[in-house]
Amino acid sequence: MDNVTGLDRPRVLYRVDEAAELLSVSKSRVYELIRSGQVRTVKVGKSHRVPARSLDEYVARLLRGSAGHGKTA
């Protein structure tokens, strides 16, 4: 899966399964992150999508949380 649309524009919204693949976690884990408020969603019609920015913010929080603990990304 690439991060570019057919218009050569960066993707801004992902389905839950795509978000899971990008984060290397299960769909169930993404739903847990959504329920806990750690990852936001937007509604598009009847579907929920995960904004790319929300994924970026989540990963940034993970990186800040592991700073100084000798862990690498």
Predicted TM-score of the model (pTM): 0.78
Residue 2 lies in a domain: no
Asked, for residue 73, whether it belongs to a domain, the answer is no
Q: pLDDT by residue (tens digit) across 8-67?
A: 778 999 999 999 999 999 999 999 999 999 999 999 999 999 999 999 999 999 999 987
Indicate the DSSP class of residue 10. B
In a domain, residue 51? The reply is: yes
| pLDDT of 8 | 72
Average of pLDDT values for 66-72?
Answer: 64
Q: What's at 73, amino acid-wise?
A: A
Domain assignment of residue 3, yes or no: no
Gap between the Cα atoms of 21 and 1, Å rounded: 9
Contact (Cβ atoms closer than 8 angstroms) between residue 13 and residue 52: yes
Residue at 69 is within a domain: no
Residue 66 included in any domain: no
Q: Judge whether 33 lies within some domain.
A: yes
What is the domain range of residue 38?
13-61
